[in-house]
Amino acid sequence: MVAAMLLLAGCKKEKGFTIRGKITHAEGKEIVLEELHTSSLKKIAEATINKKGEFEIKGVTGIPTFYLLKLTDQNFITLLVDSAETITVEADAANFHREYSVTGSAGSEQVKLLDSKLKETRNKLDSLRSLDNLYTGNPEYDDVRPRWAEEYDEIVEEQIEFSTDFVRENPFAMASVLALYQKFNNNDQFYIVRDLQVMKTAASALHSIYPNSEQVQALYNNTLQFVRQQQAEKMQQFIQEQGENSPDIVLPDADGKEIALSSLKGKIVLLQFWAAVDRGSRIQNPVLVEAYKKYKRKGFEIYQVSVDQNRAEWVDAIDKDGLSWINVGDMEGSRNAAAVYNIQSIPFNYLLDKEGAIVAKNLQGPALNKALAQLLD
């Protein structure tokens, strides 16, 4: 099957495509088609929307290609166009980037599916953040916050599962490139799809069919880099596991004083990776504050490692969230510490016993309280 697809791809010549549609409340406005490159945009064509709201744009491509169809720089949709397709787009100008229909292009329909799901997830997460801000200082805040944190995590996991399943089920679809590069927000350091095997499968499949695609080449090279990094981390982890269960970390705190994780042996320690700019981290901090107040006198300590790169934001978050435990970071992402502990997303934590051995990981809300109660009560 792959050989046949390669033969077809090799023989494929560029053919013309047509994008036509109707956009209400946009009569007389210009609509522009731009080709999306990895680091730039190239204007392909433009058309004037007539009195009936109709337009038509023609172009040429030999492989599935990403385009932006734009009314303005802020009001646009993403299309994935293959050769010889006749695509129909319908929308209203005011909600062009939020609500539109597209037919005649399987790739564009997949892009719309991916974008719509991510927008839905972002809206849910924004609603929880709004509730969190609204209830700050409310007497019921401490009771409802753990439930919101759990719901937040469930929404995130649902999106990760959806995107991962899409790529797993569509390894030869160019839309999988978009799925693999999606993030929950622009400040997020991690992609939504975090399964390296799924990424490897899609990168290999797409590279075999579309080796000349700029986006596919970038995905293929990035995947090779991730594979090399994972191999290096596994070797590092193997070496360290021969000597100790939890590798040591030595990083400076906000005052510049270097503090070693190993200096806390004799205490139950929560090793927490976070970032001041990450809303998921910030929404969990009050839960940690309550746990720290409850168990500090019983021998509980938190060693929180920041992956931030902005010192002012880090220090401000420590102050605003009332984080009175050990907070360290090199303001360069604390990459070595994150790599040693294989941190793929934040917030993430490990619970260490009094000997420094890892006894649990990624504990949140009730699960953390339960584990601390078992170890300290």
Q: Which of 163, 165, 205 is nearest to 213 (CA)?
A: 205
How many angstroms separate the CA atoms of 220 and 209, rounded? 12
Q: Are residues 169 and 224 in the same domain?
A: yes
From 184, 218, 240, the end of a domain falls on 240
* Residue 139 falls inside a structural domain: yes
Mark the ranges of the chain whose per-residue pLDDT is less than 50.
1-12, 235, 239, 242-244
Q: Are residues 53 and 115 in the same domain?
A: no
Shared domain for 254 and 188, answered yes or no, is no
Is residue 1 assigned to a domain? no
* Residue 14 pLDDT: 58
pLDDT digits (tens, 9 = 90+) for 137-172: 788 888 888 888 899 999 999 999 999 999 999 999
Q: Which amino acid is at 232?
A: A
**Could you tell me if 130 and 219 lie in one domain?**
yes
Look at residue 81 and tell me if it is in a domain: yes
The CATH number of the domain holding residue 82 is: 2.60.40.10
Helix (H) or strand (E) holding 270: strand 268-274
* Residue 298 resides in a domain: yes
**358 and 317 housed in the same domain:** yes
Sheet holding 348-352, edge to edge: 326-328, 300-306, 268-274, 348-352, 358-361
Buried b (16+ CB within 10 A) or exposed e, 126-147: eebbeebeebeeeeeeeeebbe
Same domain for 345 and 293, yes or no, is yes
Tell me the percentage of the chain whose pLDDT exceeds 70: 92
Q: What pTM was computed for the model?
A: 0.61
Contact 105, 87 (CB under 8 A): yes
Judge if 295 and 175 occupy the same domain. Answer: no
Q: How far apart are the first and last CA of the chain?
A: 61
Distances (CA, A) of 15 to 67, 215, 231, 340: 16, 20, 42, 50
Position of tokens 């970390």? 249
Regarding whether 236 and 300 lie in a shared domain, the answer is: no
Give, as one character, the DSSP assignment of residue 349. Answer: E
Task: Clarify whether residues 98 and 168 are in a common domain.
Answer: no
Residue-number span of the structural domain to which 231 is assigned? 109-240
End residue of a domain, out of 184, 219, 240: 240
Assess whether 123 and 182 both reside in one domain.
yes
Size of the chain, expressed as the number of residues it contains: 377
Look at residue 243 in the predicted model and tell me its pLDDT: 39
Kindly list the distances between the CA atom of residue 253 and the CA atoms of 256, 259, 315, in Å, as whole numbers in the listed order: 5, 7, 10
Q: What is the CATH number of the domain that holds 317?
A: 3.40.30.10
Alpha helix (H) residue ranges in the chain: 2-11, 106-135, 141-169, 175-181, 196-209, 214-241, 279-295, 311-321, 335-340, 366-376
Helix 279-295 × helix 311-321 angle, to 10°: 50
Q: Provide the number of structural domains found in the chain.
A: 3
